[in-house]
Amino acid sequence: MEIVVTLRPHIGKVNTEIGGQTITVDQDMGQCFVMANGKTVGIYCGREKEADRYLSFTEPMHEQIQADIAAKVAKITGGVKKFNAPPPEEHDVPEGDGE
């Protein structure tokens, strides 16, 4: 299966109180969400045309899939300096077991 990778700018909302009213404006956070087949899978810590930034995956995934996605992000941005994903969760051990 082909993984289609796109970047989506991370635009946040900032609220400011002025004269009893809340004013909301968009704020460019200077980074992009990494989308793989339409799902957010990570954050690239730079803008689309900023090369050699850090790529942080937001969920555990196989190292080869990480490498494939990182290579596609590198094609878009001009390079990825480093990437990683959180480790898989350890299996839960209920309290009281193993004591």
In this predicted structure, what is the pLDDT of residue 99?
43
* Residues contacting 92, CB < 8 A, separation 6+: none
Question: What are the structural domain ranges in the chain?
Answer: 5-84
The string of pLDDT tens digits covering residues 23-82 is: 999 999 999 999 999 999 999 999 999 999 999 999 899 999 999 999 999 999 999 999
pLDDT band of residue 88 (cuts 50, 70, 90) is confident
How far does the chain reach from its first CA to its final CA, in angstroms?
Answer: 46
Please tell me the distance from the alpha carbon of residue 66 to that of residue 83, in angstroms, as a whole number.
Answer: 8
| For residue 90, pLDDT beyond 60 | no
Tokens of 90: 């350890």
Please tell me the distance from the alpha carbon of residue 47 to that of residue 15, in angstroms, as a whole number.
Answer: 23
Q: Can you give the pTM of this predicted structure?
A: 0.80
CA distances 28 to 8, 69, 95, Å, are 11, 23, 44
pLDDT band of residue 87 (cuts 50, 70, 90) is confident
In this predicted structure, what is the pLDDT of residue 89?
73
* Residues contacting 38, CB < 8 A, separation 6+: 4
